[in-house]
């Protein structure tokens, strides 16, 4: 069936980790499969959460593989001619070329469904997500529950050994020992390593040194 050029569009599902973005992406993919659309699913190779679950299936037994990719070019090269729906999970890990790739696919008449977290652990826009929100036809921002206070969570809290990670850490930590929690704006903590040094300086008592100096004299 030829594509109607006016059918193509970009839908973005965004929000904090644990807000159900992947669940929502898979729900849309399942429904596209039920509608007998030709669907392709891509996800960043940095996401190992579903190692083992590389296929999404609908109740009527139709299946689609989620292909791991490392760049927007990977996606551009792998999209098949007859595809009608392209879904991309964990888009925050991809390069900014994904904005042009998504636009071109949508211009070709393809329904592009994109999911990704909108902020890094510091609360700053993550990778290509800002411009993607700008060019999208539709945006859904989902919320999780703040594990500290129970309000709606919007922020990704990075923890290292159970303590809030400092802002100077890398945005993407591959194979790190860190964990993440969903938190609201008010419970989100991003200390700076400079704050730690300032605290050491503030805590320092010159009297101590003076008395130590005196005792040595």
Least distance from C-beta 152 to Zn ion, angstroms?
9
* Residue 202 annotated to the active site: no
Q: Is 146 in the site for Zn ion (CB under 5 A)?
A: yes
What's the min distance (Å) between Cβ of 56 and ligand ADP?
13
Q: Does residue 159 belong to the site contacting ligand ADP (CB under 6 A)?
A: no
Q: What is the DSSP letter of 119?
A: B
Determine if 47 is a binding residue for ligand ADP (CB under 6 A): no
Distance of alpha carbon 131 from alpha carbon 147, whole angstroms: 29
Q: Are 26 and 49 in contact (CB under 8 A)?
A: no
For residue 10, state whether it binds Zn ion (rule: CB under 5 A). no
In the list 79, 145, 148, 152, the residue contacting Zn ion (rule: CB under 5 A) is 148
34's enclosing H/E stretch is helix 21-34
184 binds, among Zn ion, ligand ADP, none (CB under 5 to 8 A by kind): Zn ion
* CB of 217 vs ligand ADP, minimal distance in Å: 59
Structure tokens at 192: 């700076």
Neighbouring CB atoms inside 10 A of 17's CB total: 18
Residue of 23, 77, 84, 90 with catalytic role: 90
Indicate whether 17 belongs to the interface with Zn ion (CB under 5 A): no
Among Zn ion, ligand ADP, none, what binds residue 144 when CB lies within 5 to 8 Å by partner kind? ligand ADP
> Residue 151, exposed/middle/buried by CB under 10 A (0-12, 13-18, 19+)?
middle
Please list every residue from 21 through 60 that binds Zn ion, using CB under 5 A: none
184 binds Zn ion (CB under 5 A): yes
**48 scored as a contact of ligand ADP (CB under 6 A):** no
Task: Give the number of C-alpha atoms closer than 13 A to the C-alpha of residue 192, restricted to the C-beta side.
Answer: 5
Q: Locate 165 and state its tokens.
A: 């990670």
Indicate whether 19 belongs to the interface with ligand ADP (CB under 6 A).
yes
The three-class DSSP label of residue 207 is helix
């Amino acid at each position: 069936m030829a594509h109607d050029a006016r059918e193509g569009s970009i839908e973005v599902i965004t929000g904090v980790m644990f807000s159900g973005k992947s669940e929502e992406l898979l729900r849309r993919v399942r429904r596209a499969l039920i509608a007998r659309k030709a669907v392709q699913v891509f996800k960043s190779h940095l996401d190992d959460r579903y190692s083992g679950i590389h296929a999404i299936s609908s109740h009527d037994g139709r299946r689609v593989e989620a292909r791991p990719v490392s760049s927007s070019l990977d996606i551009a090269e792998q999209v098949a001619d007859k595809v009608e729906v392209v879904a991309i999970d964990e888009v925050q890990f991809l390069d900014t070329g994904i904005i042009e790739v998504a636009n071109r696919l949508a211009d070709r008449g393809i329904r592009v469904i994109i999911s990704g977290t909108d902020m890094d652990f510091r609360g700053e826009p993550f990778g290509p997500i800002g411009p993607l929100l700008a060019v999208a036809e539709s945006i859904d921002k989902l919320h999780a529950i703040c594990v500290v206070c129970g309000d709606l969570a919007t922020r990704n809290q990075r923890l290292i050994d159970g303590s809030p990670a400092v802002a100077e850490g890398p945005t993407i930590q591959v194979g790190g020992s860190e964990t993440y929690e969903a938190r609201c704006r008010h419970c989100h903590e991003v200390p700076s390593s400079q704050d730690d040094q300032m605290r050491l300086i503030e805590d320092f008592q010159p009297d101590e040194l003076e008395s130590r100096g005196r005792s040595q004299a």
